[in-house]
């Protein structure tokens, strides 16, 4: 969990007191520290590239803000995209097609045609997709996603590598898939797997690497296919709680690359961190708008709900909570931190010991950069919030707050209802 500076009892983000950010830009607001983003990318890129040629494919579903993508482009990132919308977004952020890999699931022919037209590498998820792709365009490079029967993750909803999941071609059929790709006139250049999200142990990544190396060696020997890269997927977790330790990415890189180099002739490793790169770069600032004391609970009512950050309600996820304007104060009262959505499941934190709160206090929700804004919604007709980028004492809006007009812009009332 990232540590923040405290000056005169106030939380400081990127050289700016959090209260000043909240007052200037309003709340709720997502605040991203550019320096932290660059630091995270460089750390994992260095860990792997010291051992062998490496492509860091940022899993952009975590956060597709154009400014954040632009920063990662400057750092030399590649992209893992899961929809034509993400492909389009990354192209507009300045990524060239050769630095984007599309890894879709349940891909329609319409979407497949659109992706092909953009000239990006396609990571095949099924036999059907592969056949339809060949019917659209052949003699193009592809990667193939295997279901490795190695699953892990922080919640059942994010485990992607188990044999019961919808993702990838079953392990028993993967050799057949590469053989058919050749018959269809496609050019297989990569092998991919993904075990899940929020994984904090090295062992699952080692296991999936062993599976991928075994496959690569088999297709080299039996099909004479020389792959350009092995992609071990993403899913590296972060410490959301104060007592948790970060993943040792140096040891992870050492274990993974050693197995690839020893087991097959593939020369490049790819990895798809999303959360690891962006999660702890961002805090969600929100204000206390009401204090409600009942015989059962003390509620800190804030202006952000699960429309703003759904992870606690959806996954039961923990996000550390601090009071930005009482940053050095000790906890006194146990609160549920709840939002304005008309649902009992609308909470950002439960049973948290915090300093005694007052209306107007600024709450900082940590580690909100991954799957925060990207999973936000307009539920209860509430506009999505503003995003701000801070860097060495300067702050820039990187997404304006929506308005009611934005919510209603694409709705239409038939003329017969206007009488």
Active site residues: 342
The single residue listed with the structure tokens 């000043």 is 20
Q: Bridge-partner residues for 78, per DSSP? A: 57
Q: How far apart are CA 384 and CA 64, in angstroms?
A: 15
Q: How far apart are CA 229 and CA 99, in angstroms?
A: 13
- The CB-side HSE value for 161 (13 A sphere, CA atoms) comes to 25
Residue 30's DSSP bridge partners are 284, 387
Locate 153 and state its tokens: 């993750």
- Alpha-carbon distances, residue 166 vs 221, 315, 390 (angstroms): 29, 19, 39
Q: Which residues pair with 170 in a beta bridge?
A: 147
H-run or E-run covering 81: strand 78-81
Q: Which residues of 92-119 are buried (b: 16+ CB within 10 A; e: fewer)?
A: ebebeeebbbbbbeebeeebbebbeebe
CB 357 within 8 A of CB 383: no
Q: Cα separation of 324 and 19, whole Å? A: 7
Using CA atoms, how far residue 267 sits from 55, 143, 213, 339, 393, in Å, is 11, 15, 12, 50, 42
3-state secondary structure of 229: strand
The number of residues in the chain equals 419
**Cα 66–67–72 angle (5° rounding)?**
95
Q: Name the H helices within 264-372.
A: 275-278, 311-315
Closest by CA to 60, choosing from 33, 84, 43, is 84
Count of other CB atoms within 10 angstroms of residue 130: 21
Residue located via tokens 């804004």: 373
């Amino acid at each position: 969990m990232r540590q923040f500076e405290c000056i005169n009892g106030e939380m400081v983000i990127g050289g700016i007191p959090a209260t000043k950010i909240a007052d200037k830009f309003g709340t709720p607001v997502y605040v991203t520290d550019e320096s932290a983003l660059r630091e995270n990318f460089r750390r994992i890129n260095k860990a792997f590239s010291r051992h062998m040629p490496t492509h860091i494919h940022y899993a952009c579903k975590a956060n597709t803000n154009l400014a954040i993508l632009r920063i990662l482009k400057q750092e030399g990132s590649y992209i893992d995209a899961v929809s034509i919308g993400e492909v389009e977004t990354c192209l507009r952020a300045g990524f060239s097609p050769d630095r984007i890999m599309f890894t879709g699931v349940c891909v329609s022919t319409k979407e497949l045609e659109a992706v092909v037209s953009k000239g990006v590498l396609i990571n095949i998820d099924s036999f059907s997709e592969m056949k339809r792709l060949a019917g659209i365009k052949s003699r193009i490079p592809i990667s193939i996603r295997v279901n490795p029967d190695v699953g892990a993750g922080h919640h059942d909803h994010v485990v992607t590598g188990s044999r019961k999941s919808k993702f990838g071609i079953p392990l028993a059929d993967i050799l057949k898939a590469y053989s058919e790709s050749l018959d269809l006139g496609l050019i297989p250049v990569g092998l991919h797997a993904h075990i899940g999200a929020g994984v904090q142990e090295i062992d699952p990544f080692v296991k999936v690497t062993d599976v991928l190396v075994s496959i690569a060696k088999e297709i080299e020997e039996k099909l004479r296919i020389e792959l350009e890269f092995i992609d071990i997927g993403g899913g590296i977790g972060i410490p959301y709680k104060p007592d948790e330790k970060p993943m040792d990415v140096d040891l992870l890189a050492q274990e993974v690359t050693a197995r690839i180099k020893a087991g097959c002739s593939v020369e490049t490793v790819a990895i798809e961190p999303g959360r690891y790169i962006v999660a702890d770069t961002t805090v969600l600032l929100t204000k206390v708008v009401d204090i409600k004391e009942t015989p059962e609970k003390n509620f800190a009512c804030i202006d952000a709900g699960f429309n703003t950050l759904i992870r606690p309600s959806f996954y039961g996820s923990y996000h550390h909570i601090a009071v930005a304007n009482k940053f050095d104060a000790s906890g006194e009262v146990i609160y549920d931190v709840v939002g304005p959505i008309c649902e009992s499941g609308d909470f950002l934190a439960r049973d948290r010991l915090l300093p005694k709160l007052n209306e107007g206090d600024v709450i900082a929700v940590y580690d909100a950069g991954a799957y925060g804004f990207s999973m936000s919604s307009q539920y209860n007709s509430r506009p999505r919030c503003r995003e701000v980028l801070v860097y060495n004492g300067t702050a820039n809006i990187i997404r304006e707050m929506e308005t009611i007009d934005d919510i209603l812009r694409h709705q239409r009332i038939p003329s017969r209802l206007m009488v």
